[in-house]
Structure 1
Amino acid sequence: MGKVLGIAILLCALIAGAAMYYLQVYHFYEEVTPTGTDDVQLTRLAEAAPEPILYQGFQAIDATSSPIRYRACFTTEMSLATLTETYQIYEDAEPLTAPGWFECFDAEVIGGALEDGSALAFLGQENIQYGIDRVVVVTDDGRGYAWQQINACGEVVFDGNRAPEGCPEPPQGY
């Protein structure tokens, strides 16, 4: 009887583990349907407002379970020189990993390109959702990537503290 019970417990643990893995890596993600016109936006230096840039080959995934699960890949013919003269640079960009099946987005490669200077990070949109910024990275050969990461205001508020000076008031419920 003990062996049967042990095997049953082991089987339940394996099934639960496989289900959790599937849910985290596959189930919650959905492909984003591109609009073809405004999928990639950067925030202008002058107006501090996001505007679409020229891009091709856009593919993205997102999940409603978390605002930081968004990942995107694209290409652009715009040069880094033009982009830096027109759009806001994003300090402290930290690419977040994507599921292995979303092959175009490799956080380690993107992070390495940011470190060695062959890529630059730009502000896509500040507070796309309270405390979350869209970050867009473009490499010197025109490959582009986007993700959402928690900004300084979000870090403080999500920890349960009051919004620091200079941050917008959080919506009700934060």
Structure 2
Amino acid sequence: MAGKILAVVIVMFALLTGAAVYYLQEYAYYSEAAFPPGAEIVLTPIESDQPEAILAEDVQGIDADSSPLRFRACFKTPLTQGMLTETYRAYEGAEPLNAPSWFDCFDAAEIGAALENGEALAFLSQAGIAPDVDRVVAVFADGRAYAWHQFRPGALEGN
């Protein structure tokens, strides 16, 4: 009988631990990201290291203090890919990271596939948001756009 009680306690502890880990990964620490008016989304120009605000509408985002990689944003821009390409720095090696399931405007798999097939283009928003971490913006031809933080390509090599 004592073995059954011990087994039930172990299973209950495992279930509670699993639920806590899920909650911490999906919900805890996240808060709505702040986007100051006039500087909601910025991109780094080809000719400068100083990011500048671009036209952005319907901006929504999340962030967390627990990690520099938890930032995600979705928005729309009236700027064309051609104009953006001529004005702002392209970002090589853009790889969107998954967002929590409840932040449903951001689909990392769709964005990543669009970047691979050229449907979306990636631009440097801000270099060095945190050590070795950049903010990246991907823009689709229809104006949908997404932003996230990622490790600078090559930053983890040799660690």
Report TM bin, short chain: over 0.9
Q: Secondary structure at the match of 1:88?
A: coil
Q: d(CA) in 2 for partners of 1:145 and 1:57? A: 11
Work out whether residues 93 and 153 of structure 2, in 8 Å CA contact, stay in contact via their aligned partners in 1. Answer: no
Aligned to 1:18: 19
Match in the other structure for 1:85: 86
> What's 2:42 paired with?
41
1:65 aligns with 2:50: no
CA displacement at 1:63 relative to structure 2: 1.2
Q: Give the structure 2 partner of residue 167 of structure 1.
A: none
Relative distance call for 1:39 and 1:22 in structure 2 (3 A) is same
- Gaps spanning 5+ residues in structure 1: where? 160-174
Taking the aligned partners of 1:75 and 1:42, their CA distance within structure 2 comes to: 14
Q: Counterparts of 2:50 and 2:107 in 1: how far apart (Å)?
A: 28
What is the TM-score with the length of structure 1 in the denominator? Answer: 0.87
Query: What is the match of residue 54 of structure 1?
Result: 55
RMSD, matched Cα: 1.3
Structure 2, unaligned runs of 5 or more: none
DSSP 3-state at the match of 1:68 = helix
Equivalent in the alignment of 1:169:
none
Q: CA deviation at 1:45?
A: 0.6
What TM-score do the two structures reach when normalised by structure 2?
0.94
CA shift, 1:153, in A, is 5.9
Question: What is the aligned length?
Answer: 158
Amino acid of the structure 1 residue aligned with 2:73:
A
Are the aligned partners of 2:137 and 2:146 in contact in 1 as well (CA < 8 Å)? yes
Runs of 4+ in structure 1 off by over 3 angstroms are none
1:109 maps to: 110
**Percentage of matched positions with identical amino acids:** 50
